[in-house]
Chains A and B, each alone.
Chain A
Amino acid sequence: MKDSIDSHVTADGRTIGGVLMEMRDITLRFGGVVAIKGISFDIREGEIRAIIGPNGAGKSSMLNVISGFYHPQEGDVFFRGEKRPTMRPYEVARMGIARTFQNIALFEGMSVLDNIMTGRLTHMNSGILSQALWWGRAQKEETANREVIEKVIDFLEIQSIRKTPVGRLPYGLKKRVELGRALAAEPKLLLLDEPMAGMNVEEKEDMSRFILDVNDEFGTTIALIEHDMGVVMDLSDRVVVMDYGKKIGDGTPDEVRNNQQVIDAYLGVAHD
């Protein structure tokens, strides 16, 4: 396959490097139901990788495997060339993998600022005593991290809602805040689960711009699930196509678009 090239430059001048994460023969079952059947693919440093497929294809389950929430019965996950042992989700997060959720999973009782600050938790390590006294390390750390997230807030253009409780925000803004929380972690790999679901055209354009800017400015590797084909084809460098838990296509948007199996899956040819 053409993946053997170690790094190359895309048409718009971004550099795509070596393999950041590799999924090898992943199989995931819930009781008797097989959600993912022996899927392998990789994610390269600096690219935007899309996972697409009809409803129930196992895309979200795949994302959950990557973020350590589900543990596959078979197969291995390699992160930066090393096999990842079975980990709790918070340990995965500390390796530098952040994500957003299909049904927004913000902390509704907290302000926008506090929500985004939770994204920095993996970067904070002052002791409980220092925090209780609000002295020394804890206060310095608080201020330093506040500076970081203020940059994220500026980047996402949500300065005016900083102190608003998240529960009061409209849907589109919530999605943006959730992206902010993931960005605050300064992740090496950013997972986006349907970042544009339920948005109108304008909001979609905004979100696309943010995704491209994140990838471009910070060089963050992104893996995303999305249903809007137009968006996927425009944004992503490479696409994995799943159907009924199996991989039926993998390649550049153009290759995938002309793949007969993919066309069948989307246009609904009877399964035998």
Chain B
Amino acid sequence: MPDQLLYAMEVTLNGLMAGVLYALVALGFVLIFKASGIFNYAQGVMALFAALTLVGIMDGQVPFAVLINAVFGTEIHNFGWEVPAILAIFLTLLVMCALAWCVQKFVMRHLVNQEPIILFMATIGLAYFLEGFGDLMWGADIKKLDVGLPQGLNDTIDQVTYGWFGYGFFIDNLDIFATVIAAILVIGLTIFSQYSKQGRALRAVADDHQAALSVGISLNYIWVLVWSIAGFVALVAGIMWGTKSGVQFSLSLIALKALPVLMLGGFTSIPGAIVGGLIIGVGEKLFEFLIGPMVGGATENWFAYVLALLFLVFRPQGLFGEKIIERV
């Protein structure tokens, strides 16, 4: 087989893996959008915030240490203990649930029945707030996140593909792991929303707020629940991305790519988020590989957005969205 084709195949595989991570962030968007019609711009920053919190707890950092030191002139940094990964993840999850409650209590509850675009802008404000808040709480330096996930070259795939093609594919163990986790999450969420009582309530709310309210479903509860689940998904995505490239601000920019993913997949479809993520992941890697060298590289910065833009012009409802009938 010609080398070029083999490289392209490897790039495609890596693109698929990257796509899974995009899909993971996109999943969080879809959940909130389905349940409340809110397009949560802050989802990416939530992933960053979750990762920051996780690292902070694991390292035994004192929250707001820099702020406290600045105000009181003290010199505190660490509690001096380290928290095991599992416990830290659980604690972070609690923090994300508390965050969900706060968002509902202080922001979204006051914006019920506002136009979607106002809600969207409010979540941009939320993203800004969280970004500053996370940095205030845990400091803005780039952190390493290691919760013990497997990382590095997968030897088996390398050897098998070498045996087949005479060229070993480089696939990261972390990517494989992420794919498995994403698959489990999707299946889990689908089961949850189809078969559990809360899931049914959630779908009812998504369908019609008023009607759901009138059969005795507490909107407040459902929305806190759905923001918590989104926080959980953000945490998972934060762990994956954080392990891969360190916990830093650019994490929230990578997470922005989930937006074009959603535009491809449609905002209301979980399978759409997955397929959209894969298309974007593979598309941008292949484009960079094939076209990138001709135009100066770094096309990954914009490829996803331009693809989504062009796609939307021809199919505004996304791949899996339903056709919208306009009424007067």
Contact = CB atoms under 8 A, between A and B. Distances in A.
The answer to A–B direct touch (Cβ < 8 A) is yes
Interface string B27-55: 00000000000000000000000000000
What interface size band does chain A fall in?
A: under 10
B295 interface: no
A105 B328 CA distance: 8
Interface in A75-104: 101-103
Interface string B315-328: 00000000001101
B309 to A, nearest CB: 24
A208 interface: no
A30 interface: yes
A69 B328 contact: yes
A252 interface: no
A243 to B, nearest CB: 21
B328 A30 contact: no
A162 B325 CA distance: 35
A175 to B, nearest CB: 15
Please report whether the interface of chain A is mostly helix, strand, loop or mixed according to DSSP.
loop
Interface string A56-74: 0000100010000100000
Contacts of B328: 60, 64, 69, 101-103, 105
Interface in A14-58: 30
A104 B328 CA distance: 9
A101 B326 CA distance: 14
A195 B250 CA distance: 56
Nearest to A63: B328
B116 to A, nearest CB: 16
A69 B325 CA distance: 11
A114 B328 CA distance: 21
Contacts of A60: 328
A68 to B, nearest CB: 11
Nearest to B326: A69
A76 B328 CA distance: 22
A5 B326 CA distance: 40
Contacts of A64: 328
Interface string B265-307: 0000000000000000000000000000000000000000000
Contacts of A105: 328
Contacts of B326: 69
Contacts of B325: 30
A25 B63 CA distance: 73
A30 B325 CA distance: 8
Given A64-B328, A69-B328, A105-B328, 6 more contacts: A30-B325, A60-B328, A69-B326, A101-B328, A102-B328, A103-B328
Interface of A: 30, 60, 64, 69, 101-103, 105
9 contacts: A30-B325, A60-B328, A64-B328, A69-B326, A69-B328, A101-B328, A102-B328, A103-B328, A105-B328
